[in-house]
Amino acid sequence: MEQVLKMRVGIVARYFRPDTGRGIDRYAYELAKQLEKQGVTVVRLPYWRAATTIEEAVSFYTSTQAETYLQKNDVDLLHFSLGCPLWKLASDFPVVSTIHDFMWRTVKGLTLQGLYLEVGTWLTRYADRIICNSTQTVEQAKQYFPVSKLRLTPFGVSKRFMDRDRSSDHTVIGNIGGGMRPDANLNLALRGFKEYLVHDEQAEFIIVGPKKHQYPVLKTLVQHLGIEASVTFTGKVSEEQLIEYYNLFDVFLYLSAREGFGFPILEAQSCGTPVITLKEAVIPQEVKKTTHQIESTPSAVTAAISQLPHDHEETEKQKRYAQQFTWERTTQKTLEVYNELV
């Protein structure tokens, strides 16, 4: 423990905020905070916030002057929340890199972001240790990196996500829109909700998150289905508002086809809201383990919505399971990785 208390760690991340809607930013925020609680001195290096151009944003990854900067800040180790610096190829300075997922490899065609992540993945092999957030990511990472460098360190859920009093007088179905990506399967959720309204015309479906990607298409579908009065698109919300929504929902529909981790699943469960996912969804098994898993049909969605809010035993089981995922555990396992190098 004495070695840990004297450690100085530089964490390089895009942002250190829990409210950007990106799991990678939440991870950097929570990890830095918890490390400081353990007595570690954390030097936050937000490469994006200080940048005025894309070139500046990636400069810390490529600059040969980076080691001079590290020496000035007197850190023992550098932890990149994404990727690995180019200068690591010619340096023995201890570097840890976190791999969140490989979802970007499912995108068809060559994109600038995809090229950047491809290069970043290639560079990550030069990190001294590579932290993976799930068994799913570990298995995928084995295709690219030496197995001896991989360390499994599951992410956590903030204690702010907790069960509160519920006061709604009608059924409320919820969804976190996932940026309204096509693979979020919101069209399936809406069609299933349409069928459910036949049994409960007072029900409400609230889709939380930025109105991006397929929002115009989904808005048109809502109009086509004739359910405008029962569906709400909130747009971007704060973390406190998100917690309030989780506690408003009677059931949480998360029909995403794939997730690198799946924070919303564990957040909803921690708030005492039962979660529905798809059986074939590519989501880490340890995350979706206790969710109510269904086939990808509107009738299956309708049946699950009808059943789950009344199954208090399953709801309680989901909540207890999700509460095992803590940032304190994530931090402790991360410290074990640091101590291998420092």
CATH number at residue 245: 3.40.50.2000
Nearest CA-CA partner of 133 in 23, 239, 45:
23
Distances (CA, A) of 46 to 28, 38, 81, 273, 313: 10, 21, 10, 34, 43
185, 146: one domain: no
211, 117: one domain: no
93, 177: one domain: no
* Residue 6 placed within a domain: yes
Q: What is the pLDDT of residue 63?
A: 53
The H-or-E segment that residue 233 falls in is strand 231-233
* Residue 165 placed within a domain: no
151, 13: one domain: yes
- pLDDT tens by residue, 282-320: 999 999 999 999 999 999 999 999 998 888 899 999 999
Of residues 225 and 4, more confidently modeled = 225
199, 249: one domain: yes
199, 143: one domain: no
Look at residue 55 and tell me whether its pLDDT is greater than 60: no
* Residue 59 placed within a domain: yes
- pLDDT tens by residue, 209-252: 989 889 999 999 999 999 999 999 999 899 899 999 999 999 99
**Phi, psi values for residue 95, rounded to 5°:** -130, 130
Helix 312-322, helix 263-270: angle, nearest 10: 120
Nearest CA-CA partner of 248 in 162, 161, 167:
167
How many domains, the chain?
2
Tokens 């880490």 sit at which residue?
A: 284
**Phi, psi values for residue 131, rounded to 5°:** -85, 130
* Residue 300 placed within a domain: yes
* Residue 223 placed within a domain: yes
Q: How far apart are CA 7 and CA 2, in angstroms?
A: 9
Look at residue 42 and tell me whether its pLDDT is greater than 50: yes
State the residue range of the domain holding 63.
2-156+326-341
90, 12: one domain: yes
Alpha helices in the chain (DSSP H): 2-5, 23-37, 54-57, 59-62, 66-73, 112-124, 135-141, 186-196, 215-225, 239-248, 263-270, 285-288, 298-307, 312-322, 327-341
* Residue 163 placed within a domain: no
Nearest CA-CA partner of 174 in 90, 55, 271:
271
41, 77: one domain: yes
302, 337: one domain: no
Rounded to the nearest angstrom, the gap between the alpha carbon of residue 103 and the centroid of all alpha carbons in its chain is 12
The one-letter amino acid at 77: L
310, 331: one domain: no
* Residue 70 placed within a domain: yes
Q: What is the pLDDT of residue 98?
A: 94
Looking at residues 57-61, what average pLDDT do you find?
A: 54
Q: How far apart are CA 264 and CA 280, in angstroms?
A: 18
- pLDDT tens by residue, 146-184: 999 999 999 999 999 998 877 677 789 999 866 788 889
309, 238: one domain: yes
* Residue 164 placed within a domain: no
Look at residue 51 and tell me whether its pLDDT is greater than 90: no
209, 98: one domain: no
Look up the pTM and report it.
Answer: 0.88
